[in-house]
Structure 1
């Protein structure tokens, strides 16, 4: 006879959601477990654990709550590398955050003020968590990566931390800066569009 178990794991620290799921799976020969969690890391770990135990799962999300439905059949078998449930620590799932910088000024209005704001914007990036995966400079934004200024060092620091920095090659060429790039690499519109389309979130200072 198939069993049905519901687990409310909201607010629980890892690996508790996985451990409760493990206990529930061990109680049943076959059936369905519904696990409710309130963060993406727990959702990911519970799903991975269910898969490691040979179970299928599906997820629905609403208002930041994840409802994971795990189905165990009579012939479900753990994977060879299933391991101990306690190893599923809930480290945050890395999301790809992409910053786009299409100008050397921030916002619209007074250009002098816009450059002051952009300097503060660039210098503050290193203090934001999570760091972006990529920063894309295009149009007059490439003037930031191809001109000597006190913004080069903070951008180099970001690059040292694994942030990829790209400047539009067409833009550099148009502005006569093709051979003056001081940080990061050149890119093209196809790669810019691919990066933006594949990002979980795109942030612009406009």
Structure 2
């Protein structure tokens, strides 16, 4: 994960059953937080911003990853679109310009 930005564009991993996709995404972040080598940042866009709400089990893992020093960034346009700003339990709101800056310097791993 060294020198990577993780782009999360959904509240589940993969296409298919929603519950399975949420469980697989939670497993991904559970394992990620246990690694010594962490990503440079995690950027959430589209439905990915829902992973930072209390309703998502992923939010606990994202908060722990953030506490380890990894910025967790939620796309402002997406947060506004889904009207979830007051439901976010961690991270910070950021813009597409910041993501482009990160993507120009680091490899992007997309979780969709």
Q: TM-score, normalised by structure 2?
A: 0.87
Question: Who is 1:160 aligned against?
Answer: 67
Q: Which has the higher strand share?
A: 1
CA distance in 2, matches of 1:188, 1:173: 11
Q: How far is 1:147 from its partner? A: 3.1
Question: Who is 2:50 aligned against?
Answer: 143
Question: Who is 1:132 aligned against?
Answer: 39
Secondary structure in structure 2 of the residue aligned to 1:179: helix
Q: How far is 1:203 from its partner? A: 1.5
CA distance in 2, matches of 1:149, 1:190: 26
Q: TM-score, normalised by structure 1?
A: 0.50
Q: Which has the higher helix share?
A: 2
Question: Who is 1:122 aligned against?
Answer: 29
Pairwise mapping of residues 5-84 of structure 1 onto structure 2 (< 5 A)? none
Report how many residues are paired. Answer: 111
Most deviating of 185-194 and 140-149: 140-149
Q: How far is 1:205 from its partner? A: 2.7
* Equivalent residues of 2:10, 2:111 under 8 A apart: no
Structure with the greater alpha carbon radius of gyration: 1
Pairwise mapping of residues 92-111 of structure 1 onto structure 2 (< 5 A)? 95-111=2-18
Structure 1 residues without counterparts, runs of 5 or longer: 1-94
CA distance in 1, matches of 2:51, 2:30: 12
Structure 2 residues without counterparts, runs of 5 or longer: none
Residue deviations 1:124-174 (CA, integer Å, cap 9, x gap): 111234101100011000001123443333222211211111001111111
Cα RMSD between the aligned structures? 1.6
Secondary structure in structure 2 of the residue aligned to 1:204: strand
